[in-house]
Structure 1
Amino acid sequence: MYTPRSLLPSVLVACVGFAPAAPEPAPAHTVTEDGDRVHIAGTALEASIRKKGYVSGVEAASLLDRKTGARDLGFGLDIVDWIMEPGSDEAYRDTLTGDLPYVFNNLHHGKRAKRSIEGPQICTQAKALKPTVIRGADFVAVKQDHTYALAAPGKKTGSKWEQTLVFPKGKRYFVSADKVTAANASDAMFLRIDMPGHIRHKSGDTFSAVYLSYHGKIGPTEFEKDFAPDEKFLYTRDDKNVPRRIIRAYHIRDPKTGTDGPWLAGMTLDPGAVYEAWCHQRGYVCMIEEIGGRPVKAGESFGAAFVVGYFDSIEEMEKVYDEFAGNRGLEVTEKGWKLTKAP
């Protein structure tokens, strides 16, 4: 049929007007938020970050591996404590306020003398944080911080802790970093954290092995009785012999069936950032890590970056570790995220 030229534009407009619109890309994650927590749900991983109560890091038992249904076994992941240094507070312990006193020569802390520079312990005493969510095209990030409000005699308050957590699309792990900007000077200042996190169990029923890259595999029978952190499996940095990797992991198993699940690993991406690392039994397997332990001047910053999450094998952990190795910091904007050499 012949169509007059005068009608062609309207015909074309009509055709264009009925063309289907391109579908919007699905978001990498679903983020829900209320007064108590931020919850992040992705295709591979779910996690919650608490705003109140036991704060910092990822909330206990909230890190869900969608592939296997496994959850973390402790009290949270990348959980943060005090700013500390070597030495004893015995001479002035009775003058310390809050939770600054640090008692050693016991099963909880061992015999190595340490003292708090600033507190309180963030996870139990900060009470509330104000996490900020950053949404990118293929990730979701959370940033949070706290300024320390207690100090030992002769020290100032005001050091700032900052934490960044990034959840990349489709990954069974998250990337994190902890940074301290110091208000005080110290010959060996360090930040104490849980990395990846502790292991709750009854006679080793929830895990079949612990893996420490600087030691090897450890069976659950080693953790049937309490022992001090400096009694077994203690890592202390030797700058002449720093390990290639710092990977600390546990192999989850079903306590009812005994079936092994995935490994949950915490990987410190620059081994030289780790001052000391515990793996001992104190009612649960305690996986404390101390970051820093080097001279710091007031106004300077120190910290470390990590990968935390689920893996099917030690070989897979090592492959991911080597992809990100050598970094201590993490930067993020809506346009993207990147690991950095400096904290």
Structure 2
Amino acid sequence: MASCTIDGSTVIIDTDLLSAEVHTEGYVSGIKAQTLLDKTTGVRDLGHGLHIVDFLLEPLQDEPGCSLPYHHGDVTHGDIVKRYVELPQICTKARKLAFEVSEGDGWVAVRQWFRYTEATYGRRPGSLWEQTMVFQDGLRYFLSSDRITSVNTVPQLTLRIDMPGHLKHDAGDSFERIYLSYGGTSPAAAFVEDFPPDARNLYRRNDSTIPDYMIRAYQVRQEGAEGPWLAGITLDPGIVSEAWCHQRGYVCFIEEIGGRPVAAGESFGAAYAVGWFDRIQDARATADEYRGVAGIELSGTEETGDRRWSLYR
């Protein structure tokens, strides 16, 4: 039966098919690196964590003299122009997140949140980021969501995340291949040499041709053979404004959601399924099952015994 243990700032989650850790201090957000254990095969994720969260951006050039410039023109960011709206980078700089844990019959949910503390170009800091993750018995993946409530009016506001998560390797030794639903399959050998995000595998939303799926996955190498796929599925593909998959010492799986006008006080977000699949067809079936889901809502209270979660579109 799904359960959790809180040990200081660490939440340890256990279901019949998965185990994972959420660290709410230090390097924060999402699932702690290499702790998502697939009990069916014994494999773990290979990177810096899963569903890791960064900052708020907009697709504009910085003005001269900006005190918080966004750098580009290198292998990290390529020639893709952006500028910060609110900071810090949550995963590396927030240092500590508020959180709550809920449990029910066969499920555990973890909710984390943080208010950005810096803003650019005369805007206010304080936009609220919320992340909810739900783990259920009987599933080798978990459901998760992000929600931003902005304190600023921004014409094209985006949230940057890692989805499913960056991939560590040494000359392609730990994985077989990468699959991008909008770009096909690439062998591990394609990620030996560094290249910037705009060199290849760059996705940019075109509202006239939204893809049917937004699935980004890597197939692990297990004892020298092909193992399962670790996939990140964005359940409403239309919310993704841009996505990268490039090599910069590791495979960088950046994804940006939003990119639409947001007025002060308004919210936007996305929902995902993240975890283990034997075949890409299985990931597509999961995407079909939850197609169009935009978020996760927790309701009720532990005190009254009616704590529950639901999905919304």
* Cα shift at 1:153: 2.4
For 2:111 and 2:245, the matched residues in 1 are separated by 28
Aligned to 1:213: 181
- Please point out which of 81, 87, 90 is paired with 1:113: 81
Matched AA of 1:210: I
* Cα shift at 1:92: 2.8
Aligned to 1:336: 308
Q: 1:137–1:335: 8 Å Cα contact kept in structure 2?
A: no
> Does residue 49 of structure 2 align to residue 76 of structure 1?
yes
5 Å matches for 1:35-50? 35-50=8-23
* Cα shift at 1:181: 0.2
Aligned to 1:87: 60
Aligned to 1:199: 167
For 2:47 and 2:292, the matched residues in 1 are separated by 27
> Does residue 253 of structure 2 align to residue 287 of structure 1?
yes
Q: 1:118–1:149: 8 Å Cα contact kept in structure 2?
A: yes
Aligned to 2:238: 272
For 2:151 and 2:208, the matched residues in 1 are separated by 30
> Does residue 285 of structure 2 align to residue 319 of structure 1?
yes
Instruction: Report which of the two has the higher share of helix.
Output: 1
Instruction: Report which of the two has the higher share of strand.
Output: 2
* Cα shift at 1:130: 2.4
Matched AA of 1:83: L
- Please point out which of 254, 257, 262 is paired with 1:296: 262
TM-score, length-normalised on structure 2?
Answer: 0.96
Please report the RMSD computed on the Cα atoms of aligned residues, expressed in angstroms. 1.0
* Cα shift at 1:299: 0.7
Aligned to 2:156: 188
Aligned to 1:21: none
* Cα shift at 1:335: 4.2
* Cα shift at 1:336: 3.0
User: What whole-Å deviation, never above 9, does each CA across 1:47-104 have from its counterpart, x for those lacking one?
Assistant: 10001100000110010000001100110111000010011224133x23xxxx3101
Aligned to 1:141: 109
* Cα shift at 1:108: 0.2
Classify the secondary structure of the residue corresponding to 1:124. Answer: helix
User: What whole-Å deviation, never above 9, does each CA across 1:95-144 have from its counterpart, x for those lacking one?
Assistant: 23xxxx31011110011110110000000000011221000112100001
- Please point out which of 217, 220, 226 is paired with 1:260: 226
Classify the secondary structure of the residue corresponding to 2:284. Answer: helix
User: What whole-Å deviation, never above 9, does each CA across 1:272-316 have from its counterpart, x for those lacking one?
Assistant: 000000000000000000000111111110110000000000111
Q: 2:2–2:136: 8 Å Cα contact kept in structure 1?
A: no
Matched AA of 1:309: G
For 1:335 and 1:157, the matched residues in 2 are separated by 32
* Cα shift at 1:32: 1.1
> Does residue 133 of structure 2 align to residue 160 of structure 1?
no
* Cα shift at 1:154: 1.1
Q: Percent identity?
A: 51
- Please point out which of 23, 26, 31 is paired with 1:53: 26
User: What whole-Å deviation, never above 9, does each CA across 1:178-233 have from its counterpart, x for those lacking one?
Assistant: 00000111111000000000110011111101000011111111101000001100
Shifted more, 129-138 versus 58-67: the winner is 129-138
For 2:127 and 2:64, the matched residues in 1 are separated by 24
For 1:34 and 1:131, the matched residues in 2 are separated by 13
Q: 1:35–1:51: 8 Å Cα contact kept in structure 2?
A: no
Aligned to 2:210: 242
Classify the secondary structure of the residue corresponding to 1:131. Answer: strand
Q: 2:17–2:38: 8 Å Cα contact kept in structure 1?
A: yes
* Cα shift at 1:36: 2.8
Q: 2:202–2:243: 8 Å Cα contact kept in structure 1?
A: yes
Matched AA of 1:222: A
For structure 1, which runs of at least 5 residues remain unmatched after alignment? 1-27
Larger Rg: 1
TM-score, length-normalised on structure 1?
Answer: 0.88
